[in-house]
């Protein structure tokens, strides 16, 4: 158990809908990262937050947004869903954003299926 909790574990929804994925970081970790992993794309970095502020942005679509709340949990919002958004979405947390000498811990992921 990494200490990072992602909910829900599985989600099935229809095209055009909107969903929210939730991540609770490890106790004491201030930084949260979101990743998308589909079969043919590998682990794609989406966005990173540190203590409530956005710190880095990767290949995140405009239909997607995220935020980190004062209690440090984070939510990833996916809207106008398309079939191609079906993927595993992982959240990771670490103590500090740069994490040069600290490791990041990953949750078990949320499997999103868009039908």
How far apart, in whole angstroms, are the C-alpha atoms of residue 99 and residue 44? Answer: 19
Could you tell me if 112 and 21 are in contact, meaning their C-beta atoms sit under 8 angstroms apart?
yes
Closer CB to another protein, 52 or 99, in the complex: 99
Beta strands in the chain (DSSP E): 5-7, 10-13, 19-24, 31-38, 42-50, 53-57, 64-68, 74-78, 87-94, 105-106, 110-114
Least Cβ distance, residue 98 to another protein (angstroms): 5
Closer CB to another protein, 12 or 43, in the complex: 43
Least Cβ distance, residue 95 to another protein (angstroms): 13
Closer CB to another protein, 45 or 52, in the complex: 45
Could you tell me if 114 and 13 are in contact, meaning their C-beta atoms sit under 8 angstroms apart?
yes
Least Cβ distance, residue 45 to another protein (angstroms): 5
Note the residues at the interface with another protein (CB under 8 A): 2, 4, 33, 35, 42-43, 45, 48, 50, 55-56, 58, 90, 92, 97-101, 103-109
């Amino acid at each position: 158990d990494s200490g990072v909790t992602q909910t829900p574990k599985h989600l099935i929804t229809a095209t055009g809908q909107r969903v929210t994925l939730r991540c609770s970081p490890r106790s004491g970790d201030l930084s949260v990262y979101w990743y998308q992993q589909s079969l043919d794309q590998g682990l794609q970095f989406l966005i990173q937050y540190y203590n409530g502020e956005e710190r880095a942005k990767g290949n995140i679509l405009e239909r997607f947004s995220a935020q980190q709340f004062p209690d440090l949990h984070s939510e990833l919002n996916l809207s106008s869903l398309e079939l191609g958004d079906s993927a595993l979405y992982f959240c990771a947390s670490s103590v500090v954003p740069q994490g040069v000498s600290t490791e990041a811990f990953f949750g078990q992921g949320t499997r999103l299926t868009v039908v």
